[in-house]
Structures are given as structure tokens and as C-alpha cells.
């Protein structure tokens, strides 16, 4: 994948290439941060890779690490911005079932206040230790199929 390969139909690629206007916050050779056009709160921003990548599987570890370094910088900037910010949420939806609506990998970073209206509705589940152990075994098997032994994030 080329660093600046883009999808002409992708709105975020349009922002990267300057075809779509955006209120840019941060930019370097690999990532771009800009204000969300449909914010959860004032200051809600997105951090994206400049290359077109639909989801997590489409970027390598180095780019993902850099992307999250910038997410960390943006969270710090929000806390120091003067915008109302008592906390920060970081949100990434990967895939249609996860409610991803723009299929260019992006991380939302948005400020929170105690009286904001943002709510995430979750029906938390209780699982038995045996069920959790079975789930853990399946995830470890997924690591092995990816060529990464459990406990060795570098492969």
C-alpha cells in the first residue's frame, strides 16, 4: 500500500487531498487530525491515517502506533485548549457491525463534561470464568493464526 493511496469516493481521502474542506488541527506525513463535522461535543476531532485504510486490518503496526501517539497528543491538547473538557473519550468503530459509518479508519477524540448529553448504551453481560477462559483460548488461537505467539506482541 502506498502512503498516499486514496479512494476517490472516500470523503476522508478527499479531506487528505484538499478536495473536501476541513478544519485541520494537526498534520504530519502519515496522519491528519481535523474537527468532526457532526461532533458529539465542541472540540470533537478525528485522527486518520492519510493513506486509505478501511479498518484496523489495513494498517501496519508502525502506522497504528503513530496514529495513537497523535490521538494522545490530541487528547492532551483538548484538555489544555480552553474548551469545556473534564475528561476525554477515544472511540474507534471497526466494521459495519461496530457502527462504522465512514469506511476510512478514524479515531474520535472528544472532550467530556459531567453534564454533557453523550451516552453509550451497553447491556453489560455476566460471564462465567469457564466461558471467559474459553473466549481467551479462542483469542489466543487467533493470535497464533496471525503468527504471533501469546505474550509476544512483536511476533
Catalytic residues: 106
Q: What are the grid coordinates assigned to 34, written together?
A: 481535523
> Closest Cα to residue 67, out of 23, 20, 27?
27
What are residue 107's phi and psi, to 5 degrees?
Answer: -115, 125
How far is it, in rounded angstroms, from Cα 35 to Cα 47?
A: 9
Under a CB-based contact definition with an 8 Å cutoff, are residues 46 and 20 in contact? no
The length of the chain in residues reads 155
Amino acid at each position: 500500500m502506498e502512503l498516499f493511496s486514496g479512494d476517490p469516493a472516500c470523503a476522508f481521502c478527499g479531506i487528505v487531498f484538499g478536495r473536501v474542506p476541513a478544519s485541520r488541527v494537526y498534520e504530519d506525513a502519515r496522519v491528519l487530525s481535523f474537527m468532526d463535522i457532526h461532533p458529539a461535543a465542541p472540540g470533537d476531532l478525528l485522527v486518520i491515517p492519510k493513506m486509505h485504510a478501511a479498518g484496523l486490518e489495513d494498517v501496519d503496526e508502525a502506522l497504528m502506533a503513530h496514529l495513537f501517539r497523535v490521538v494522545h497528543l490530541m487528547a492532551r491538547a483538548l484538555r489544555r485548549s480552553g474548551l469545556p473538557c473534564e475528561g476525554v473519550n477515544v472511540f474507534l468503530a471497526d466494521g459495519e457491525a461496530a457502527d462504522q459509518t465512514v469506511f476510512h479508519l478514524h479515531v474520535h477524540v472528544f472532550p467530556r463534561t459531567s453534564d454533557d448529553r453523550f451516552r453509550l448504551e451497553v447491556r453489560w453481560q455476566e460471564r462465567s470464568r469457564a466461558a471467559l477462559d474459553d473466549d481467551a483460548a479462542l483469542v489466543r488461537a487467533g493470535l497464533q493464526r496471525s503468527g504471533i505467539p501469546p505474550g509476544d506482541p512483536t511476533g
